[in-house]
Amino acid sequence: MRVLHLIYDDRGNPWVAGGGAVRAFEIYRRLSGQVDATIVTGSYPGASAGEEFGVTFRRVGARRPYAWSRLSYALKANRILRREAYDVAVFDYSAYTPIFLPERRPVGMAVHHLTGPTARGRWGSLVGAGIAALERSMLRRARHVSLSAAVVEPEVRRLAPQAEVVVVGAGVGEEFFELTRREEDYLLFFGRLDVFQKGLDVLIDAFRMIRSDRPTLRLRIAGRGKDAAQVVRLVERAGLSGAVEIMGPVSDRERLELLGGALLMLMPSRFEGFGLVAAEAMAAGVPLVASDAGSLPEVVSYPEGGVIVPAGDAGALAAGATALLEDRPRRTRLSRTARETARRFTWDAVADRHHRFLELIAGIRTVD
């Protein structure tokens, strides 16, 4: 089965590298003996095509700047879906990559979160309304859709009535479960540096509150993204330059080291897909304080997996983190139960479920 998977994001993309790119790679490397998969990503500085673990990577669109890279990717991806030969194609949905699925071709859509509900807050009423309308139009064209479990109900209402829907989550590598914990005096944020989506302004405000009674406490921010410079400005304006370390992109080994030493992981997203970072933190035994955005409440499975607070509320984030910092026995219990809760996320099971989705698109099987 020749499979094209279209996702602008890529693990090496300096602007948006995130969980969706990891998910696509982890799935298809496990299906390499069953399907002939090509992941079609956007291009970016330093990007190169090639093969990795039996998965072919193809880069399309401009390498820079970010906005043109994204738009040119969408133009080429639309052409690929209409004209090229494949047995099955899947588009990892994003409202910021306007791809309209062609009729009478075997194409499905993977939807991890919606943009419309928060677009007005990010872009203002006029642009936000346009993005929400574009999103509705894109979703209504999908005939085969995979969704994260927690977002099924709100997103199904936006799909075509005849759309066939399956639930496909994400997984966690075994190396996270094997990590040895050692608490050090820092909190951790790991993820894409997108201030609005990831709530990094909320994070900085909350850390300022937390640190008022803990002058030695530090915050480490790891990840890459288009808003790196804005994060630096937020830290400087809050007077926290000496207490916040912005680490940029880190290696897999460095990520495990950060998780091993963090007192807590903070995840204050305003909207979120599956929340792969949350599942990885839980598997590593890091007590987690996360917002109630998207799939996070289901992934975290409060109270066994972590603490849930309202999205966009710096005071609630600070209070939730402070309560854990002051209660070491609770942190120890949460570290243990979080790992147990995260055991339900395995990449092999996710890959098998995604394979079933591919067969649904190809007409080989029906929804189950």
Look at 51 and 162; give whichever has higher pLDDT. 51
Sign of CA dihedral 48, 52, 56, 57: negative
Mean pLDDT across 273-286:
92
Question: Can you tell me whether residue 269 is helix, strand or coil?
Answer: coil
pLDDT at 368: 66
Alpha carbon distance 87, 92 (integer Å): 17
Alpha carbon distance 271, 299 (integer Å): 14
C-beta contacts of 251-255 below 8 A and 24+ residues apart = 254/222, 255/190, 255/222
Neighbours of 115 (CB within 10 A): 19
H or E element, residue 346? none
pLDDT digits (tens, 9 = 90+) for 178-228: 999 999 999 999 999 999 999 999 999 999 999 999 999 999 999 999 999
Checking if the pLDDT of 152 tops 70, the result is no
Specify the pairing of strand 36-42 against strand 2-6: parallel
Checking if the pLDDT of 366 tops 90, the result is no
Mean pLDDT across 290-318:
92
pLDDT at 121: 86
Mean pLDDT of the chain: 92
Checking if the pLDDT of 151 tops 60, the result is no
pLDDT digits (tens, 9 = 90+) for 121-149: 888 989 989 988 988 888 888 999 998 76
Domains, the chain: 2-171+346-362 (3.40.50.2000), 174-342 (3.40.50.2000)
pLDDT digits (tens, 9 = 90+) for 236-273: 999 999 999 999 999 999 999 999 999 999 999 998 87
pTM over 0.75, yes/no: yes
